[in-house]
Structure 1
Amino acid sequence: MPDPKLNYVPCPDASGGHRMAFWEWGDAKAAHVVICVHGLSRQGRDFDVLAQALVERATHPIRVISPDVVGRGKSDWLKDPSGYQIPQYVADMLALLAMLHQQAPIVTLDWFGTSMGGLIGVGVCGTPNLPLPAPVRRLVLNDVGPALQSQALQRIGTYLGNTGQFETLQQAADAMWAISTSFGPHTPQQWLALSAPMVKPHPAGGVTLHYDPDIAVPFRAITPEAAAQGEAALWQAYDNIRAQTLLLRGAQSDLLHRDTAMAMTQRGPKAQLVEFPGVGHAPTLIAQDQVDVVTSFLLKDSDEKPESGAG
């Protein structure tokens, strides 16, 4: 599988700006752009398998873009960690879209977001009057919604920010698997491939996880009152979404409750729900059935429902 191209976009912030890295697959001049955004402590190479499948299966030119959200992967770290929140991430995505549109006009825009990447997508799609180069046509929310289960957030908080030091990639991969078994079944080879972009050299030797430990600062500062306000704002944004929406859920997810998922099928864009058995939070889009559902949804020109034996 060929590696994607690595590029950067300058993004404004209150401390003088930063660079956001992004990975690019497919035709750099394509009018159809799919943005794929990762989860809280992940990075853009999570989408290697999905992006390759989209490029191979598309019957028209397509450009798949997977950013490393600021503080992760190859992107800069923020000087002020309080910026590690959805408003900054949405602003960064607008800067990315503006640059991509300048490079090659975007006619068809789709969005895939896992967990945090889905919340960023809700912000992009559900905030009125944003300067988008084109309206988002189709939106895939991967195991996330406006209401997040508190026990899952507590679970994530137990490891977020602990980037560690490991002697080898395999040791780091084993440590990540210990906190990621909810991702569902993976072969050792699949997990090692997913883990390789998750580490970088540690100054004292060996490797460490790729992200800024300070992404945990605003996460841990969330009060119950702020969480309630955030949930209300997210529901309002969700209700504003006009994109055709597909909601993926790991059937054993502890972050996206099934009641929330069902509510998302009844209001706003009335998402179609597809659940994957044997998976929790969150599907990694490595398994063939997961890839098939998403490529079918994003590549079909009509409004047909995506094909799946899993939902």
Structure 2
Amino acid sequence: MARAGAVNYLFGTRFYKMAYVEFGNPAAPAVVCVHGLTRNGRDFDALAEALSDRFHVICPDLPGRGKSDWLQDGLAYQPPTYVVALAHLLAQLNKPVSWVGTSLGGICGMMIAAAQNTPIKKLVLNDIGPYIPSASLQRIRDYMLEAPERFGSMADLTQHLREVHAPFGLLSDAEWAHLARFSARQVLDPTGSGKRIAMHYDPKIIDPMRAAVPLDVDMWPVWEMIHAPRLVIRGAESDLLLCETYERMLKEGAEGYVVADAGHAPALMDYESQARIKAFLLEG
């Protein structure tokens, strides 16, 4: 059963709220699950339920997503800002944590895991690594720029998710409906077009990508500073976590797991992925 919470964090000259949901016993070992660029913490409901018998699972909505406050400056929607908010959450938890990060959530996890005195003791990276090719960032940028601003019905929004997030894997109708439910927000329709549903994020989250041509991202120096045990999950058809990047991560000490019939990024709603993550978190 998901329980709602929030943490306040200081960014610039203003305090903002970052919302989260949590599962399991707060006295149990903590697992923080952080979502991708256009998603929210409810993506992890299935995984959190699967882990909740042994762990205290916390799933935040990054700034500008879900129930978290929107930032005043769209150009501030970048990993260092998210790390500030997440650091406040970690300070509130005040205990060691394991980290499960999908895409952007994994970038934030690597940054925090590389810091001195980090509370991250285990790191799960879902289809993200220290090298990100510009072509994949361009693809993400394009689908965000081309996404409809409004939808006429939940069915329309669900179909949009099925198309742009097809690489999530072989999801059931119920799983797509779950993602759609938490991907939608009600908005006013001043045009009278009947389109009153929008994606549940601040449209300005695209501003940093709109402002610059996507370039390759090289975080290998950050990766080399991480000493926690690492599990790297790769979608078999991913265009973001390349095979050569994945293989290098394994050679440098990470454990690996490949999700068949998925690209960027596996939804982690299937039993096999959840079991692999749980086994890794329980190791040692």
* TM-score normalised by L of structure 1: 0.85
Q: Could you tell me how far apart the structure 1 residues matched to 2:56 and 2:259 are?
A: 27
CA drift of 1:137 comes to 1.6
Q: Provide the aligned length of Structure 1 versus Structure 2.
A: 278
Matched, 1:296 2:284: no
1:122 aligns with 2:110: yes
Structure 1 position 201 matched with structure 2 position 191: no
Q: How far 1:264 moved relative to its partner?
A: 1.1
> 2:116 & 2:221 partners in 1: Cα distance?
11
Structure 1: state its 5+ residue gaps.
303-311
SS at 2:230's partner residue?
Answer: strand
1:1-311 to structure 2, matched below 5 A, reads: 2=1, 4-28=2-26, 30-56=27-53, 58=54, 62-101=55-94, 106=95, 108-129=96-117, 132=118, 135-160=119-144, 162=147, 164-204=149-189, 206-223=196-213, 227=215, 230-231=217-218, 234-267=219-252, 270-300=253-283, 302=284
Alpha-carbon RMSD across the aligned residues, in angstroms, is 1.5
Q: In 2, are the aligned partners of 1:15 and 1:80 still within 8 Å (CA)?
A: no
**CA offset digits 1:14-33 (Å, max 9, x no partner):** 241211111111112x1511
Q: Secondary structure at the match of 1:190?
A: helix
List per-residue Cα deviations over 1:96-128 (Å, max 9, x = no partner).
111122xxxx2x410000000000000000123
TM-score (norm 2): 0.93
Deviation at 1:298, TM superposition (A): 1.1
Q: CA deviation at 1:221?
A: 2.7
Q: Percent identity?
A: 37
Specify the SS of the correspondent of 2:122: strand
Q: Which residue of 1 aligns with 2:192?
A: none
